[in-house]
Amino acid sequence: MTYYIYHIPGKKIGVTCDLNNRVTVQQGYDSSEYDVLESSEDIDYISSKEIELQREYGYKVDMVPYKNLKPKTKMNINITEQTTTFPCPVDKLKGQLFDNIGMNWETEHGRLDITPKTIDWIMKNVKTSMFNSNRSYVYNKAFARFYDNNDVFAKPTTTKCSKKPLKMFENIRQWADERGLYDKGDVKTQLIKLQEEMGELAKATLEDDHVEVVDAIGDMVVVLTNLAHLNNVNIETCIASAYNVISKRTGKMVNGTFVKDAD
C-alpha cells in the first residue's frame, strides 16, 4: 500500500492512502488545490516525515503518529455464487466502502476489490435486498466485467515538490493577501506587470547584469504566483503540471534551443 503526504496550502499537512476519498470527497479539495509532498510504502517513514513537515510548515502537529491510528474494522460481507451482500442499506453503503478501501474477496468470477473506481461502480449498480432493507448487494459477474476495460488499481500521478519553494510561495501569497492584492487586484494588471518584469529581465540579460537578472526573475516569480492565485490555482500545481508534460518529452538541442520531437 502506498501512503501519501498531502499539503493543502495554508490549511494542513496530512497522510492518506486514498487521496480522492480523504482530500476530495471528505474535505472538498480538488486536485488543483493540494500537493503531494512525499509518497512511500514505508508507513514508519511516512509517519515521521509527516510530523517533520508539519513542524517545518508551522502547522499543528498530530498528537498520534499516522502509523498508530486505530485501523478500521473490516466490513463483514456475505458472498454467494451470484452476489456480494453488504451489511448496510444503500444510503449508508458509500461511507462503509470508503472505510474499507483495499479490501478484496474471491468469487466464482474472480477477485473483487474496493477501490475508488469500484466504489463508483458499486454505488451505480447496488440493489436493496428483498429480504432485508438494511442490507444491499451487487451481482458478482457484472462487477467482475467492470474490470475488463477499467484500470481499477490506477494510482494518482504525483510530483515530488521541494519543501522550501512551497513555503516561499505561501509567504508570497500571504504577503499579497495582506496588502489586498487578491481582493482588489486584477488578472489583466498582473499580466501587464509580468510583461514589465520581462522587459527588465531582457535589459539585464543584454547588459550582462547578474544582480538585476536575479532581481527580475524573482519579481516575475512573485507576479506569476499572484497571477495563478487570481486564476484560482496554486503556482505549485502549474509547475507540477508543466513538469509532468516536459519530463516525457524527447528532442535535441538546435542553435542553443531544445527542439522537441514531433508527436
What pLDDT does residue 223 have? 94
Please check whether residue 134 is in contact with residue 141, taking contact to mean a CB–CB distance below 8 angstroms.
no
What pLDDT does residue 195 have? 92
User: pLDDT tens, 102-157?
Assistant: 888 999 999 999 987 898 899 999 999 988 999 999 999 999 999 887 777 665 44
Where do the DSSP E strands lie in the chain? 3-8, 12-16, 35-40, 78-79, 83-86, 104-107, 110-113, 127-128, 136-139, 251-254, 257-260
Please check whether residue 83 is in contact with residue 139, taking contact to mean a CB–CB distance below 8 angstroms.
yes
User: pLDDT tens, 190-245?
Assistant: 899 999 999 999 999 999 898 899 999 999 999 999 998 888 888 888 888 788 77
pLDDT at 162 over 50: no
What pLDDT does residue 199 have? 93
Show the cell assigned to 115: 477501490
